[in-house]
Structure 1
Amino acid sequence: MRLSQARLLVSMIGSSILLSACALQQDVASAPPSGKTGSSAPALSATTVDGKALTVEFRNHRTVLVFWASWCGPCRHEQPYLTQIAGDLESQGVQFFGVDFLDRDHAAAAAFIQEFHVPYPSIYDPDGKLAAAYQVDSPPGKVLVGARGIIVARTDGETTEDKLERLIQAKLLSE
């Protein structure tokens, strides 16, 4: 009798755990945008450094968002290899967008783009509102958004070319 009660108890506990896990699991595609890894990417619609309106579509696109500022030393160090990677990955369906934030000098932002031959559009976010939506506190930062519109990875601070390429391969190109 005790053995069957123990089995029943174990079975009930197992079922409870399974049901709890199912109840807690949510479809991340329907999660509210928060800028955190695993959540939907916040909407990105703004004006670029060169004055053009831009709305970024994340669904069905693999995207790398590059958060930078013209005065940021690590950003200046990273940009040559970011320019190269963006060109290399374009044919594989990876789109890059920059977000220039906390940069009050619009002319300096435009000069940065020209100096480094940045091949992708960069949004001008002088107040850092878009960066805050993506929870990027200071440049540089990279946010990777998968084809379902979900943030799949992020890096805060300066990153090596090798590390970024491996992250893109693992999180964007293998999905």
Structure 2
Amino acid sequence: MAGLLFLAFAYLAVGQAAVNRSGAQTAADAAALAAAQNTRDQLAGQWVAAVLDPTKWQDIFDGNVTYTLSCWRAGQLAAQNDARVQGCTATRPLGYEVHVQTEKSVGDSIVPGTEHTYSKASATAVIESLCKFKLPGEDGVLPELSCRDRNWELDPHDLTDLPGPEDLFDVHLAD
């Protein structure tokens, strides 16, 4: 009977550790995605600002422009998931690698020392352009912007129907 009770507590300890580790991975994934989405929004804003100058578009789509690093956003999402960012770096291709540690320990269990053990995880999110275009030969004519789900015929005299950040860029976790 004592052996069965010990095994039950051991399985409980393993379960606690697995749940804590899963929470850490969720926090890392959310943090990396949040940082990448914030940068995606900045790039989309730069594209809107430069929409009348298509010679700047490719640099924006490639991320070869100045933008504010969004690791602060990763910290916000990690905190919302009971974790803290231990490292956040911008990556190439365009994206973020984020390392987090849980705020809560694995907890007290039959396994000694787990009350001071915290789970760690990392995730990488990337930003990929969804659009292609060919520069027109004529001045004042905007190129057709071919994105994943739609082609955008842009009229320089009526810019009320522009693609949004989610139309221009995809943000996803890297494998």
- Structure 2 length-normalised TM: 0.30
- State the TM-score, normalizing by the size of structure 1: 0.30
Larger radius of gyration: 2
